[in-house]
Amino acid sequence: MQNGSGVSPSAKSVILKQGKEKAVRNRHHWIFSGAVGSLPEFEDGDILPVQTFSGEVLGHAYFNKKCSIIGRMISFGGGDYKKAVIESVRNAVNFRKSLYNHNTTNAYRIINAEGDCLPGLIADYYNGTIVIQVSTLGMEKLKPLILDTLSELLSPSCIIEKSKLSSRKEEGLQDKEGVLSGKLEEPLAIIENGIKFVVNFTGAQKTSFYLDQREMRKLVMDFSKGRKVLNCFSYTGSFSVYALKGGAGRVDSVDESEEAIALAKENIHINNLSKPDNKFYIADVFQFLRSISDSYDLIILDPPAFAKKKKDIPGAARGYKDINRIAMQHLNSGSYLMTFSCSYFIDEELFQKIIFQAARESGRLVRIIQRHHHAYDHPVNVYHPETNYLKGLLLYVE
């Protein structure tokens, strides 16, 4: 059977509708179900060639009929897709090795999903231990190949999986957490920019440490000297440690997790930064900010994602506005607010509008003096801008 162009496509290929190949030609990784003209028989998670309506092979993708994003490209052009996957892993690892001196930073992201041409996969390296997150069925089937390649390139002492993601349910996957190889050591000591931290993997958020904020932690260090600092959603205290390293006079840390606060205290202690004035609060940040009368010279707001789905946007916007407004009311004149959103559905333009509303309701004069800097190990693929999820502003508040 021909497709009207005189070319007979492969019976085992996915054929895109006429005029729907532009995104894949432009090396975007996602194929939506509406772009597909015909599908062969396959099991969800299988890897198949992708062809244009006229029969041109565009590359390979894995497919899942359960998902609106029915396919995700893992290679472009002709050739063996397994070799392409191995090459993507190799390129990702070599890029990170070029960025960091292991003597000063030994914890970093080594695979950033579409940012490294490997959709559905996150892999972080922590001083010899690799932590992976798999979010798709297709990547689950590629996992043995990925693990073999990472083991060959990095010789890790341990590989852990922490695949506890809401997206796995749509893919037909159960959550998965545990040791895949080697022996788990925790707490594990790491260093970042020469600063010591300990991390726990069991029960930790994400892969255990917010590696994506490395550059912004350095910025906090630059703005903390002599200041009274409040670190909200402090988790294990990384911003608190950098603030104290930068000469902050006092740092208060707030998180609702008792375990996280305990680790924050430990991270401050191992860097010889403990001070009697430092305060730690196990509390809901919204309630804490509404209840205190203290004022600060620098407040850091790095909350978890308020919008997990598109329908969450209105409620998330209200949450971000409220917490930023309340924080502004607790700042001395001539102080700083560093504020973030990691909600993919709250884009940079919307986030700035939310901050404008918070500033107007707080009655403060607010100026933007810096925008978020991505950590270098979290590349954003120019062909796939959806990987740019984190945004932030450093504000000067009068």
Q: Report pLDDT digits (tens) over 145-158.
A: 999 999 999 999 99
Q: Are residues 160 and 108 in the same domain?
A: yes
Structural domains counted in the chain: 3
Position 363 in a domain: yes
Which residue of the set 117, 158, 232, 342 is catalytic? 342
136 secondary structure, DSSP code: S
Q: Among 76, 92, 121, which residue terminates a domain?
A: 76
What is the 8-class DSSP label of residue 114? G
Q: Rounded mean pLDDT of 196-220?
A: 91
Q: What range does the domain containing 176 cover?
A: 81-188
Say if CB 321 and CB 341 are below 8 A apart: no
Distances (CA, A) of 105 to 99, 166, 190, 348: 10, 31, 8, 29
pLDDT of residue 278: 96
Same domain, 27 and 91: no
86 part of a folded domain: yes
- CATH at 310: 3.40.50.150
Give yes or no: residues 38 and 174 share one domain: no
Do residues 358 and 393 share a domain? yes
Residue 143, domain CATH: 3.30.750.80
Q: Residue 234 domain-assigned?
A: yes
Q: 256 and 176 in one domain?
A: no
Within this chain, do residues 71 and 172 fall inside the same structural domain, yes or no? no
pTM of this structure: 0.92
CA angle at 391 for the pair 386 and 394, rounded to the nearest 5°: 165
- Rounded to 5 degrees, φ, ψ at 9 are -70, 160
Instruction: Clarify whether 342 is annotated catalytic.
Output: yes
Whether 312 is covered by a domain: the verdict is yes
Task: Say yes or no: 254 and 355 in one domain.
Answer: yes
pLDDT, one tens digit per residue, over 22-71 is 999 999 999 999 999 999 999 999 999 999 999 999 999 999 999 999 99
Residues 97 and 141 in one domain: yes
Clarify whether residues 103 and 55 are in a common domain. Answer: no
Report yes or no on 49 lying in a domain: yes
Among 11-20, 79-88, 352-361, 362-371, the range scoring the smallest mean pLDDT is 11-20
Domain boundary among 188, 223, 249: 188
3-state secondary structure 227-274: CEEEEECCCCCHHHHHHHHCCCCEEEEEECCHHHHHHHHHHHHHCCCC
The 3-state DSSP class for residue 393 equals strand
* Residues 273 and 155 occupy one common structural domain: no
Q: Are residues 315 and 289 in the same domain?
A: yes
CA distances from 204 to 233, 239, 350 (A): 14, 17, 30
**69/95 same-domain check:** no
Q: For residue range 118-133, what is the model confidence (pLDDT) as tens digits? A: 999 999 999 999 999 9
Confidence (pLDDT) at 206: 76
Last residue within a domain, chosen from 135, 153, 188: 188
